[in-house]
Structure 1
Amino acid sequence: MGSFQQAMQRSGLKRTKQRECVYNVLEKADVPINAEQIYKELLSESINLSTVYRILESFVEKDIAIKATLGQSVTAIYELNRQEHKHHLICAECHSIVAISGCPLEQYVEDLSKTTHYQILEHKLEITGICPRCQAKHGK
């Protein structure tokens, strides 16, 4: 059984062609993407943008996808919830996103929890810079 089928079974959502199309775009994406990018990928499927948003919100609600905003952006981005803890490097110019492997905050979060007695639920790390492509454009 494929991962889409498993996700629908676990979540209790009905399997539909439109949900499968959105799921497949998220599955192929190397980095989080926004609803408009998904919509553009699915133009040939005749799925409208509001449907893409509804599907994404249902995926988030059922923990199939993760919704976030990065940097100063107000645009939500989405990625499949692969149960992996990730952080991101964001280009301030072209807004490209690179996932950072490993977590440099693990020990800090553990120590912080011990000293403050907080039960820490999650943390996020975003590093903003200028990607090599944008640096090359500016001759840097």
Structure 2
Amino acid sequence: MKQELLASLGIKVTKQRKVIVAILEKSKEPITAEEIYSCIDVQEGINFSTVYRTLNTLAEKGAVTKTGEPGGKIYFQLKEHHHAHELECLACHKHIMIDECPVESFSRTLNKETGFVVTEHHLQLKGLCAECASHSDKSV
């Protein structure tokens, strides 16, 4: 799929880009550019700036979602895996994917009431995972 995805987006197919897309395909959850870079064999000859530029190009072309917070980590994910939503632990930063989509019915309601057509969305809920919550008296 790597070559087909790149070609369908009008992106030149290179060895480096195929390696990056292959890593994205294997990841079932959002992944940072740093995590992708750490998966690349040194012998591939791919530097970090190539990883980041490729990810941004894929995001601009609509094949990858790019999420994160200002000043925080930025996560990338192929859109084919995108429709799972996530929980993020504020203590350990673990990401937990949830399969149910509470936004779908809300989108249909919005469409009926306003005519607005939601074409994509991302839902991220933040709090404490069970393990961190059991170690903390704090409420976030």
Fold shared, TM-score > 0.5 on shorter chain? yes
TM-score category, normalised to shorter length? 0.7 to 0.9
Residue 30 (structure 2) pairs with residue 21 (structure 1): no
Partner of 2:109: 111
Residue 96 (structure 2) pairs with residue 98 (structure 1): yes
Counterpart Cα distance in 1 of 2:58 and 2:113: 36
Aligned length: 136
Identity of aligned residues (%): 36
Partner of 1:127: 125
Residues 8-47 of structure 1 show CA distances to partners (whole Å, capped at 9, x for unaligned) of: 2211222211111111111111210111111111152332
Residue 84 of structure 1 deviates from its aligned partner by 4.9
1:51-62 correspondence runs (5 A): 51-62=50-61
Residue 48 of structure 1 deviates from its aligned partner by 1.3
TM-score (norm 2): 0.81
SS in 1 for 2:17: helix
Counterpart Cα distance in 2 of 1:14 and 1:121: 27
From the superposition, tell whether residues 125 and 98 of structure 1 become closer, same or farther in structure 2 (CA, over 3 Å).
same
Residue 5 (structure 2) pairs with residue 7 (structure 1): yes
Structure 2's unaligned 5+ residue stretches are none
Q: What is the alpha-carbon root mean square deviation over aligned residues?
A: 2.3
SS in 2 for 1:82: helix
